[in-house]
């Protein structure tokens, strides 16, 4: 569902289905795990897709707030996938939850977000 996004492509996130990234040493943080910002970006991409599924023509979305709880470290070499679900659609605000897991189903992070819907 994702539209072309140069930044997601730059960091290696595949958006042809649920947002997925095969991590490598470029995605490592100082401790050797997967950088938290990449995980947050993966969640944001999945949540944006979930919000856009319910839009009318001419509407756009933007992230207002994103909270990420990191549950387990990702390891470079893991394939991480994010999923998201809309919890409530209001007039202009949409509340969502999402999860990131590795290829074995190990939970890596959980996110809660608010998106705003605007007219283009």
Q: What is the pTM of this model?
A: 0.93
Give me the chain's average pLDDT, please. Answer: 94
Distance CA 24, CA 6 (A): 19
Q: Where are the domains of the chain?
A: 6-119
pLDDT at 110 over 60: yes
CATH number of 6-119: 3.10.129.10
Structure tokens that stand for 68 in this block: 């990420």
Question: Which pLDDT value is given to residue 66?
Answer: 98
């Amino acid at each position: 569902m994702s539209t072309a996004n140069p930044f997601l492509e730059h960091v290696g996130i595949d958006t042809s289905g649920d947002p997925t990234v095969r991590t490598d040493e470029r995605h490592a943080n100082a401790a050797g795990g997967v950088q938290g910002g990449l995980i947050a970006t993966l969640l944001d991409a999945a949540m944006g897709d979930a919000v856009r599924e319910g839009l009318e023509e001419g509407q756009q979305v933007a992230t207002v707030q994103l909270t990420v709880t990191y549950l387990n470290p990702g390891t470079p070499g893991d394939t991480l996938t994010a999923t998201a679900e809309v919890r409530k659609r209001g007039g202009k605000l949409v509340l969502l939850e999402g999860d990131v897991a590795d290829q074995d189903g190990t939970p890596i992070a959980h996110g809660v977000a608010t998106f705003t819907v605007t007219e283009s």
